Structure 1
Amino acid sequence: MKMRIEPNGSGGRGEMSSESRKGKRRQKRIPAVQKLYETCKEVFVDCGPGIVPSPENVEKLAAVLDGMTQEDVGLRPNMPCFSKERAPIITYMRLHECNKFSIGIFCLPPKTVIPLHNHPGMTVFSKLLFGTMHIRSLDWADKADDCKTMSAVDPKNNNGLCLAKVKVNSELTPPCNTSILYPADGGNMHRFTAKTACAVLDVLGPPYCDPEGRHCQYYQELPFPQISVGGDVSVEVEEERFAWLKEMEKPDDHVIVGVAYNGPKIVRK
């Protein structure tokens, strides 16, 4: 005896399989930027200044960013904003910003630099979409970093210098994992140098906010082979591990121009 399946039946085995397949196809059509936005909403919902998402949520957001490509945000290396013929101006495309998080893309022509700067109270995810970029990041040094050095050196001296420890000093080229920094660890202060045209997808939680005291501070880095600790006494310090940092005004030649984002749209929910 053969089972008859009505064309417009409800609950037939054939119809359920068809609906299931349609549902899967609909899920696959969700743009990557939409998934990123929705994941950010979930990850940062209970976070704020200095409050880091749980390790599980950090991993979840990093996994979404790890899987994203330049095509997911409608970028191509031959776009005018990446041209080496134009003035060395960095552009920023804002995809979304609210009081909990921001999503944006930095577009850097070759040889441009985002100077050493901090991210007060923020957790930051940076995904290099294409290009070769040198990243140097540092955290403030403390006694737990290097007892021998810190016992001989005052981390804050009379010249306004503060001792920092190098976390990352290397070049990245995709495919590479998302870089993550935390309010007090992971390289909260970093500098980007574009060796070639580069695009960096950035997620900040929470974003900068001057009225709330989260403003961007810039630093001058002063490397050293040794540190004077008073009189004729000095202590040898590995230059690649530590550096003096001094707060400075935003460099005059550091220009970031906002441009419209024209990639796949985000549906705010």
Structure 2
Amino acid sequence: MTKKSSTIQGIYELCKRTFTPSGTPAAAPQAVHKLCSLLDAISPADVGLKGENVENDWGYGLSALNRFNRVARWAQPINFLDIHECDSFTMCIFCFPTSSVIPLHDHPEMTVFSKVLYGSLHVKGYDWVEPPRIIMTKGPNHCQVRLAKLAVDKVLTAPCGTSVLYPKSGGNLHCFTAVTPCAVLDILTPPYQEAAGRRCTYYIDYPYSSFGDGVAVDGKEGEYAWLAEIDTPDGLYMRPGTYTGPALQI
């Protein structure tokens, strides 16, 4: 078996031994650490990628990002490469052009491992405040919002360590913005499944000060935001690609 095959094959075999369709019992810390170590060592070539390709970058640069021009940002095509999917976990790769965005969304009752393979990616993630703090907003945009606390807000640049989010910590509700052309290997366990209550929901975040009157929080108000559910963005464009890395021995 070649080194390339053993790298991704080893990740697959560890996931197969470790994860279950229900997500319970939770993976032992030793298994999580071992999987992170394997992912930390993986390179773009190990999954059939050549690394950053500026000629195929359709973005407009981070300086062109506009918080209120979300459709234009989401319209940049993101390549989705499916490596493996089963009842217990999903392995996939997202290839981003500069400035493309996967908007704020959740991973209900899921654990997600994310490894930046090349390039730079901005990650912003929240966790729900417990017990739930929910209010109904007033005015023309009357809606229900729920309080969340900022868990991560940083740029990851390859080579870097693997990020892990858990069902209730680590930034379970997060968004990705490509600072440069980049690729991310994701392992989701258990995978999305609507029948099991694991449906992907999208959100928009509002500053705490927008609706915070009378709701006390610990720490700085800037660490909190109100999240409202939105429909799946029409302009979110995931373009199916072809995984060209070593085939898995299932």
TM range (shorter): 0.7 to 0.9
Contact 1:229 1:235 in 2 (8 A): no
Q: Hey, what does 2:33 align to over in structure 1?
A: 59
In 2: Cα distance, 1:74 partner to 1:172 partner? 21
Q: Hey, what does 2:48 align to over in structure 1?
A: 74
In 2: Cα distance, 1:115 partner to 1:121 partner? 19
Provide closer, same or farther for how the CA distance between residues 165 and 101 of structure 1 changes in structure 2, counting only shifts above 3 A: same
Return the letter of the residue paired with 1:251. Answer: P
* SS of 2:31 mapped into structure 1: helix
Residues 32-66 of structure 1 deviation map (CA, whole Å, 9 limit, x = unaligned) = 1111111111111x462464211111111111111
> Any unmatched runs of 5+ in structure 1?
1-25, 144-153
Please tell me whether residue 229 in structure 1 is matched to residue 214 in structure 2.
yes
Q: Hey, what does 2:246 align to over in structure 1?
A: 264
TM-score (structure 2 length as normaliser): 0.83
Provide closer, same or farther for how the CA distance between residues 237 and 251 of structure 1 changes in structure 2, counting only shifts above 3 A: farther
* SS of 1:267 mapped into structure 2: coil
In 1: Cα distance, 2:148 partner to 2:192 partner? 22
Q: Hey, what does 1:158 align to over in structure 2?
A: 136
Contact 2:52 2:118 in 1 (8 A): no
Please tell me whether residue 204 in structure 1 is matched to residue 188 in structure 2.
yes
Q: CA deviation at 1:240?
A: 3.1
Q: CA deviation at 1:80?
A: 8.5
Q: Hey, what does 2:174 align to over in structure 1?
A: 190
Q: CA deviation at 1:179?
A: 0.5
Return the letter of the residue paired with 2:237. Answer: V
In 2: Cα distance, 1:128 partner to 1:250 partner? 25
Provide closer, same or farther for how the CA distance between residues 29 and 120 of structure 1 changes in structure 2, counting only shifts above 3 A: closer
Provide closer, same or farther for how the CA distance between residues 222 and 29 of structure 1 changes in structure 2, counting only shifts above 3 A: closer
Q: CA deviation at 1:113?
A: 0.3
In 2: Cα distance, 1:134 partner to 1:85 partner? 15
Higher RCO (CA < 8 A, seq sep 6+): 2
Q: Hey, what does 1:248 align to over in structure 2?
A: 230
1:1-269 → structure 2 map (5 Å cutoff): 30-44=5-19, 46=20, 48-49=22-23, 51-79=25-53, 82-84=56-58, 88-142=76-130, 155-159=133-137, 160-225=144-209, 227-229=212-214, 238-268=220-250
Contact 2:149 2:223 in 1 (8 A): yes
Residues 100-141 of structure 1 deviation map (CA, whole Å, 9 limit, x = unaligned) = 001000011000000000001111100000111110011001
Return the letter of the residue paired with 1:228. Answer: D
Q: CA deviation at 1:219?
A: 0.5
Q: CA deviation at 1:78?
A: 4.9
> Any unmatched runs of 5+ in structure 2?
61-74, 138-143
Provide closer, same or farther for how the CA distance between residues 263 and 53 of structure 1 changes in structure 2, counting only shifts above 3 A: same
What's the C-alpha RMSD, in Å, of the aligned pairs? Answer: 2.5
Contact 1:43 1:61 in 2 (8 A): no
